[in-house]
Structure 1
């Protein structure tokens, strides 16, 4: 079996390599899946070192969102059978990569895929849908009539969050940082309340949100990272690193309404006393979004299975659609992962 792993060097650069290993053998409640497609996501070194509880450089797998066919199953498995087409998400601490010919899953980490739903669409959408479902339903408690600010709405995660929130009756405000992103959102079969064009040089986020909401603010902010500091040097460094504007945490808090919720993907976010005071005065709250928490603990197996089934049903029914930005082969993954941040619109997937 060929698999792709990622190696962290002293200079913090990511080095990818292909390793040949034996096809895994399923143990209790495990199944072997022949990979047909795998969604590619950025690797967060800090999160992985926390999960693996290692401070030194190590090798980590690449690719968690997988669609494929079950080829082997332990006798204890009851949810799926050999020959079933399935889709699922590997645990972040799994020793088997999704970018491989075969991978090993716990039976509760996969669900059956309808035959009319392609492997590519399933792999591209499952991870982002679970993440959006976790943020909006379990953390944001979004319901009809709420107003939601989704930052970077043209990304794979942002666009799915918009579609899911709109399905539940929420009013959507979102941001873009290029004409390409704006054109993509405007091409969707529905319209959002406002698309705010932001850049490194302007700071119109708060004023635009307040104008749209009549000075009330939004009920939920769903971010794609937040800037810790607001010095000119910090802004320049962030723009050079991410190639797109990242809002300051104070601006995000300023967009919240009374009892609003800020759901952040920013690992290690630091709140200063003035930030905490602003949240306190609004009666607002902060949630940290880590979608892989489902696969790191099996205390919520039933609930997680419900999320996976609902995600697949929405993809199959066309209620939620994900744009596939690029399809690559296994040999191309090494090069694409180095420049994954350049794909701002849609999802990159590997297809075998």
Structure 2
């Protein structure tokens, strides 16, 4: 990324190979990199490290370990791995590349049943959905959950994580095709929000009481319009920053607990224990994936040199599942 701006600021360039700088780092030859909305936002408005331009974007990666630092304990050369690390603009990081350096604290063994492309699609959305539902909202078996945009990147794994925990799930989708997809993933009650008031649908589904948890992956007015769909003393989790127009009245009158989920916090603040927690999430999810309990919906792949095209595709906001770049 040469400067903030349109997708065209993503240019294929030869750069020096990244070097191991700490004894707990590993060098990974990347086979694939996930493309996430955070990538497009950083490209548009600038990275977290504007003084370290040009930058390599991409938080999600999957590949093969090529070298390890002297203090690395969990990985060896040749191991297949996946992770969410780097790509926020800091030099010597980023996964839209052939090689990257990551600390072993952020890395997990790749699910053996997934291709590198499928694995690269998984980390950010798995961690986000897990932290939102399990850590923030404290999801329990038997609870009823409303998940927005269930066919999207975060939504499609959130449905499955909720079902693994023993919850019932209703989810908003925009089309019959997406309704079929979310049913295949385990959703109990798809809501076609363009035709149906999702609040009324959620209330009808819960006998008028409201869901125990609403998980907002869209932001804006969807966040605060969800409040009346949640039972008194229930939970709302959002992965977007609430805007200044938010109407908090229904949340206050229903005594809702509001949680904010940003899975990038450990990376931005250098919280090693939290990064290790995220790696443990990826290890557990890899087990569930290999057991057939959890699926990653990969919708499109692009060669690395078409990163700008991938950004254009994700900017439409209507993609199903995940988009991934492939290193050829």
Q: TM-score, normalised by structure 1?
A: 0.83
Compute the displacement of 1:64 (Å). 1.4
- Which of 232, 241, 253 is equivalent to 1:281? 253
State how far apart, in whole Å, the 2-side matches of 1:123 and 1:215 are.
Answer: 41
Question: Could you say if the C-alpha distance between residues 47 and 222 of structure 1 is closer, same or farther in structure 2, counting changes exceeding 3 Å?
Answer: farther
Alignment of 1:273-352 (within 5 A): 275-296=247-268, 297-342=271-316, 344-352=319-327
Residue 211 of structure 1 is aligned with which of 204, 211, 216? 204
The reply to whether residue 224 of structure 1 matches residue 209 of structure 2 is no
Structure 2's unaligned 5+ residue stretches are none
Contact 2:85 2:102 in 1 (8 A): yes
User: Against the structure 1 CA distance between its residues 33 and 74, is the aligned structure 2 distance closer, same or farther, given a 3 Å change threshold?
Assistant: same
d(CA) in 1 for partners of 2:108, 2:15: 26
SS at match of 1:208: helix
> For residues 117 and 287 of structure 1, do their structure 2 counterparts lie closer, same or farther at Cα, with a shift above 3 Å needed?
same
Is the alpha carbon distance of 1:285 and 1:270 closer, same or farther for their aligned partners in structure 2, counting shifts above 3 Å?
Answer: farther
Conserved? CA contact 2:145–2:169, under 8 Å: yes
Q: SS of the residue aligned with 2:96? A: coil
Residues 1:165 and 2:159 are matched in the alignment: no
Matches within 5 A, 1:249-288: 249-270=223-244, 272=246, 275-288=247-260
The one-character-per-residue Cα deviations of 1:77-104 (angstroms, maximum 9, x if unpaired) are 1121111111111133543221111011
Q: Does the residue aligned with 1:211 lie in a helix, a strand or coil?
A: helix
Structure 1 residue 148 displacement after superposition:
0.4
For the aligned residues, what is the CA RMSD? 2.5
Write the distance in 1 (CA, Å) between the matches of 2:52 and 2:175: 36
Aligned length: 319
Cα distance, 1:226 vs structure 2: 2.7
Q: 1-side partners of 2:239 and 2:21: how far apart?
A: 34
SS at match of 1:339: helix
Check whether the contact 1:139–1:287 (CA below 8 A) recurs between aligned residues. yes
Which deviations, in whole Å up to 9, do the C-alpha atoms of 1:93-125 show, x marking residues without a partner? 543221111011011111222544321221122
| Structure 1 stretches lacking a partner, 5+ long | 229-246
Per the alignment, in what secondary structure is the counterpart of residue 325 of structure 1? strand
Match of 1:241 in 2: none
How far apart are residue 145 of structure 1 and its match? 1.1
The alpha-carbon deviation at position 250 of structure 1 amounts to 3.7
Q: 1:182 aligns with which of 166, 170, 179?
A: 179
Q: Are 1:23 and 2:20 an aligned pair?
A: no
Return the alpha-carbon distance in structure 1 between the equivalents of residues 284 and 159 of structure 2: 16
Contact 1:328 1:350 in 2 (8 A): yes
Query: Could you tell me the TM-score, scaled by structure 2's length?
Result: 0.88
Q: Give distance in 2, aligned partners of 1:117 and 1:13.
A: 29
Deviates more, 1:110-119 or 1:76-85: 110-119
- Are the counterparts in 2 of residues 126 and 312 from structure 1 also a CA contact under 8 Å? no
